[in-house]
Amino acid sequence: MSKTLGLYLREMETKHGIDPQLTGLIAHLADTCKEISFKVSRGALAGVLGSAGSENVQGETQKKLDVIANDIMCQACAESGYVSGIASEEMDHALQVPEQYAVGPYLVLFDPLDGSSNIDINVSIGTIFSILPAGTPHRDVTDEEFLQPGVNQLAAGYVVYGPQTQLVFTMGHGTVVFTLDLSSGTYLQTSEGMSIPAAAKEFAINCSNMRHWEAPVTRYINELLAGKTGPRGKDFNMRWVAAMVAEVHRILNRGGIFMYPRDNRDPSKPGKLRLMYEANPMSWLIEEAGGVATNGYERIREIQPTGLHQRVAVFLGAKEEVELVTSYHQ
Ligand code: AHG
Ligand code: MN
Ligand code: MN
């Protein structure tokens, strides 16, 4: 009989002294993602596919589900009583908790819907979240309060909406997996701790950007592509799902390396992925599973953020591979 999410969280409180307000927040987010999962699974039947006809702060066209998932997550966080402020990929600035709701000691950041280009084609997508300390609960939060390095995170995770809906998260005691049991509506534990092998046979990178890459990345990928007769002496396989949630999920389950490097198209955009609600939470999940996550130069979780929506190059996954491509940047 698998352990329920509720029981696991109670055990974390007693074994590791985790604040019941933090476990309460995680349970609340997990419940909230059931609602997103249900809408995702209904797709065209629920009228949630296609474009919303608007743009977010990154200048990306929003899909209906980006907006729907963002609204659901914001409302859930606001009414939870556990948070002082909310920040999202889909909102220019941090959101304060409206007067009618209580505030709590946490800040929540999220990418409400990751892998937007997969929504309309029924391929895996997800919701990523990161929880930071807010200090004494208060209402007047500013963007600046969120600019804490990833090592400050108190919990981080994602829910992947794929053939199964799964919650994957960490509170610093391993990366654990819960699968949503549709017959009972509960999350049941299906992995007690993920572990990424140090060596890898698979890599993930969007090769259509190759002509824009910087030299260390070109060198590394060329060596992988050279296979058995090249400097690495073995063949590698390649995957690209175009949803970071799905790539990280694959790496947690069967190893490999994922890269979204910076390139020389636009120096103001170091990479595509966002530090605060994509790279930081995913880096912690990878590290808790024995992997490594850098921006090519330094550990992602030690970067001091300067903006809520700042972008960062990402190399994460198998220790040996991430360390090798990072060494090429030195
Ligand atoms: P989002 O849908 O939240 O904007 O994020 C998409 C990100 C990431 O999940 C994925 O790895 C990458 O963009 C895909 O980029 P390409 O368009 O280069 O495939
Ligand atoms: Mn994303
Ligand atoms: Mn998104």
How far is the centre of ligand 2, averaged over its atoms, from the C-alpha of 234 (Å)?
A: 32
**How far is it, in rounded angstroms, from Cα 166 to Cα 33?**
10
Q: From ligand 2's centre to the CA of 330, what distance in Å?
A: 28
Q: In what order do the strands lie in the sheet with 292-294?
A: 237-238, 202-204, 257-260, 314-317, 292-294
Phi, psi of 142, rounded to the nearest 5 degrees: -120, 165
Is the distance from the beta carbon of residue 114 to the nearest atom of ligand 1 less than 6 Å? yes
Give the Å distance between the CA of 126 and the centre of ligand 2: 8
Total residues belonging to the chain: 330
Whether 243 lines ligand 1, by a CB cut-off of 6 Å, is yes
What is the set of domains in the chain, with CATH numbers? Answer: 5-191 (3.30.540.10), 202-329 (3.40.190.80)
- State which of 273, 277, 316 you would mutate to test the pocket of ligand 1, scoring each by most atoms of that ligand within 8 A of its C-beta: 273
> Among 89, 118, 159, 244, which is best to mutate for testing ligand 1, by the most ligand atoms less than 8 A from CB?
244
Cβ atoms within 10 Å of 232's Cβ, excluding its own = 16
Atom of ligand 1 nearest to the CA of 89: 3
- In the structure, ligand 2 is a single-atom ion and the residues with CB under 5 Å from it are 111, 114
The label of the residue with tokens 């108190």 reads: 154
DSSP code at position 321:
H
CA distance 312 to 271: 5
Each residue's pLDDT expressed in tens, for the chain with a length of 330 residues: 799 999 999 999 999 999 999 999 999 999 999 999 999 999 999 999 999 999 988 888 999 999 999 999 999 999 999 999 999 999 999 999 999 999 999 999 999 999 999 999 999 999 999 999 999 999 999 999 999 999 999 999 999 999 999 999 999 999 999 999 999 999 999 999 999 999 999 999 999 999 999 999 999 999 999 999 999 999 999 999 999 999 999 999 999 999 999 999 988 888 999 999 999 999 999 999 999 999 999 999 999 999 999 999 999 999 999 999 999 999
Q: Is 42 helix (H, G, I), strand (E, B) or coil?
A: helix
Amino acid, res. 30: A
